[in-house]
Structure 1
């Protein structure tokens, strides 16, 4: 459940009636794979080598981007990247970029990634440019990009919208062998659709390939070192870059850290604890108010939230539309509000509606917000597809039923309210058509300059302990702590965090070890 961040809070989206972005193109044909990029006229092999191009891929490192205006204050371009960083003759794909040009003396380009995997950096920059402080806007071309397989880059395509909508709302009784078999059959259908509609790209959307794309973008943008701001999964992408190219790492901010040494099972358990703790913080806050639908002690309130989820499994909540809120959708609706405490009042509204009125309209709205589903049943992004595709290449859990049930038992001991929703992760990748990618990078990124890791103590999706672990794993990692609730910190916390991050990126000033905001 590592998600794009910082996202528009649900509370603000509800209040503003935020429109969802442009529709996802129908998933009826394989993703576009081009012939290799043509040689730029007069390109210099020596210059390509100096930029760090691997043998056979020099032309990608010296390509000229054609930037065009694409909205007030924004420029857009499309870069070519190799389909496979192992085979220069395999063809190429497209990477979508946008940028806001530096207003003053330029330090370089700052690449930003909002997380996921599957988050669009292009969409993120458009929606979040206002959160960047003046020092960053003055000193950097701030560059959003859609990683390979994502959004406006050559995308992963799987189900059509109707089939995707059906799949994302399905419940399975995983306590039974029949339920596990049905869930695996659904995962197999995803795998087959992704393979058919994406083609060869599906086997090359791993994080290491995306990090190699970033090094190419660094060179194309004219920078000797990569300056980068990554949130959530974006910290894994940034740490992978540092491990592959420590000598080219510039100023990297990894906000909402993922410890790259963790296994898929450890990630699932850690997130379960993170969301359990965030839900408990919400319940505590709710019960301190005057209009909370959760009664009794905090433990009682947690059990009442679980009862809402269990009720949805037995009898999905009706809504004012012809759709019902299944347990899966109810969980999405609750979970998405825990990314930012500003969304807690909306969760209270959703729970009051479910508990008192027996209806699920607000839960359904929240679930659709989480899944990027439009009101007409289309989807504004391919984040669900990319999330699955990248995850299955990077790391996967055992699909053995006994192993999965043992893991669920472990998780439920530490996260009794929501733990079950983080188990059985091996099912998703059990029949994936491409193998897991072998790790080729040094997790410690030995030789890299100081790397700033930002951790939020009440983060549900990337628990604080992960940021601690990432900072410890990185040879040059420095931890900046934000004491607060919600997912990630820069852009949604306080001036202390903003000042430290911006001083590091603009001036290279590294916060003192142990700095807490």
Structure 2
């Protein structure tokens, strides 16, 4: 017994020692690093509780871009950085351990979306890292004007204004004018605060990534980008290809695509794919043979007399009245196409509403309201980036000519031109090479969802022809952001990261089918 007791105490002492060492490694801070241009990385205690799993470490830092030292303290740009690392190594098909592929740097979308680095989200990143089976490091950061970055590009008056007008059955022109005026007020508030909007652009973020990679001192990087993040990744590929080992472009937004010029096509493509998808599905076609016609009848009906819904935003709050005008219904369905689950539900929902069941529209309205009021999204950052990236060489006639093929959507384009906030939202001049199509030999994985409403799959198809060392996969059942919504997308990404010079195994795609459209209430 004494020997067993001594062994037990020795074991417990060793375990405590290991835990203490692990705690020391996780809480100890590295010295700050800086570059000659003034950019620096300051390591700090994490602002969230970290995972205590063996073999995993999480470190936090603040990144100060090169120009930050020249700005007053309240205007100084500071970006939060999280580095997640695990010792698990990738395995080849023969079970042998492979060489560390280098860190993965995530580029969030939007523009204006946060990377979600708060306490409630950090464990989700660990779960995703385990699912991706990426070894070494996953580097996360909030881009300028998003999430926890400073200064905050937020205008509380903007969301308050949106909430105040949702109960009004305004026409498209009236509501577009309200957006314009709300943006004017936001712009004035930011100017009063001394915010330099020309510091919030794609090219500035490209320079941030260049400096961040240098400060973290890894020779080869893998970029994982989604939505707008793909535009940023493509600009990095163009400007600083030397450090890039591989690139994942999930839901492609190429720099040569102007948001206003392509708007009519994007909207038309989104709805056309939905109607074609239903028509080509036997069950959907039989259940909803006039889906497209009924939808456009609904738009006419709601334009004349918008129905009202009540949105309940918590037990203690008064319900919010929402007037569902035609353009708001269009937005609701457009937003729903982001999600695979909603894609399957849309034909059923629209047909039920056409038959007079407004309760079927309730969940769709909730999604619409959440998208408008999402606090993790910065409208100001979105405008600064988009107005900067806008192709100033395009004339009003160019934009109208591009929209003429879609006469139903011409009113949206005309109002967009009439009330374009980029007239006053000045965020600097775009570089001459920015709108040029990117050509590169860097190994690149391109992923698209067939039903993606906002970054059409044809954009990824066109890009693949210019990136000579690329592999493109289209997912027949998906909307926007493939990897975060598809196990097959995760498998393809893992296979690519493991060996970017070989085409990923497409076996899982062969098992995917078109959406299983709901045709009966019991299937919901």
TM-score, normalised to structure 2, is 0.72
**2:356 — aligned with what?**
356
Mapped pair 1:142 → 2:141: no
**2:70 — aligned with what?**
89
**Aligned-partner Cα distance in 1 for 2:346–2:302:** 16
* C-alpha contact 1:69 1:75 (8 A) present in aligned 2: no
1:302 to 292, 295, 298: 292
* C-alpha contact 2:496 2:503 (8 A) present in aligned 1: yes
Give the SS at the match of 1:319. strand
**1:250 — aligned with what?**
245
Q: Deviations over 1:266-317 (max 9, x none)?
A: 432441233123321464489825996xx5x3xx311222232333333222
* C-alpha contact 1:114 1:121 (8 A) present in aligned 2: yes
**2:224 — aligned with what?**
229
Any stretches of 5+ residues in structure 2 without a counterpart?
1-29, 52-56, 90-99, 311-318, 511-524
Mapped pair 1:508 → 2:500: yes
**1:100 — aligned with what?**
84
> Which of 1 and 2 has greater Rg?
2
Q: Deviations over 1:178-206 (max 9, x none)?
A: x38x8357425403423423633422211
Q: Deviations over 1:189-244 (max 9, x none)?
A: 40342342363342221111112111222223332233211111111111011111
* C-alpha contact 1:113 1:231 (8 A) present in aligned 2: yes
**1:219 — aligned with what?**
214
**2:105 — aligned with what?**
111
Q: Deviations over 1:101-125 (max 9, x none)?
A: 2242454331223421122112596
Give the SS at the match of 1:323. strand
**Structure 1 range deviating more: 220-229 or 475-484:** 475-484
Give the SS at the match of 1:199. coil
**1:12 — aligned with what?**
none
| CA gap 1:289/1:277 in 2 versus in 1, 3 angstroms | closer
| CA gap 1:276/1:442 in 2 versus in 1, 3 angstroms | closer
Q: Deviations over 1:298-354 (max 9, x none)?
A: xx3112222323333332221234412333432232112212332235435643256
**Aligned-partner Cα distance in 1 for 2:304–2:432:** 43
**Aligned-partner Cα distance in 2 for 1:400–1:444:** 20
Mapped pair 1:152 → 2:148: yes
Q: Deviations over 1:25-49 (max 9, x none)?
A: xxxxxxxxxxxxxxx9896xxxx6x
| CA gap 1:507/1:287 in 2 versus in 1, 3 angstroms | closer
Cα offset, 1:402, TM superposition: 6.3
**Aligned-partner Cα distance in 2 for 1:315–1:127:** 46
Give the SS at the match of 2:163. helix
**Aligned-partner Cα distance in 1 for 2:168–2:466:** 38
| CA gap 1:110/1:433 in 2 versus in 1, 3 angstroms | same
Give the SS at the match of 2:78. strand
**1:368 — aligned with what?**
369
Mapped pair 1:272 → 2:271: no
**Aligned-partner Cα distance in 1 for 2:170–2:432:** 33
| CA gap 1:345/1:507 in 2 versus in 1, 3 angstroms | closer
* C-alpha contact 1:109 1:221 (8 A) present in aligned 2: no
Greater RCO (Cα-Cα under 8 Å, separation 6 or more): 1
**Aligned-partner Cα distance in 1 for 2:465–2:79:** 33
**Aligned-partner Cα distance in 1 for 2:486–2:413:** 27
**1:6 — aligned with what?**
none
* C-alpha contact 1:107 1:140 (8 A) present in aligned 2: yes
**1:205 — aligned with what?**
200
* C-alpha contact 2:250 2:447 (8 A) present in aligned 1: yes
Any stretches of 5+ residues in structure 1 without a counterpart?
1-39, 374-378
2:447 to 454, 460, 463: 454
* C-alpha contact 1:98 1:143 (8 A) present in aligned 2: yes
**Aligned-partner Cα distance in 2 for 1:130–1:41:** 25
Give the SS at the match of 2:386. helix
**Aligned-partner Cα distance in 2 for 1:282–1:166:** 37
Q: Deviations over 1:447-503 (max 9, x none)?
A: 6532222233443221121112222333544433434442242243353x4333212
TM-score, normalised to structure 1, is 0.73
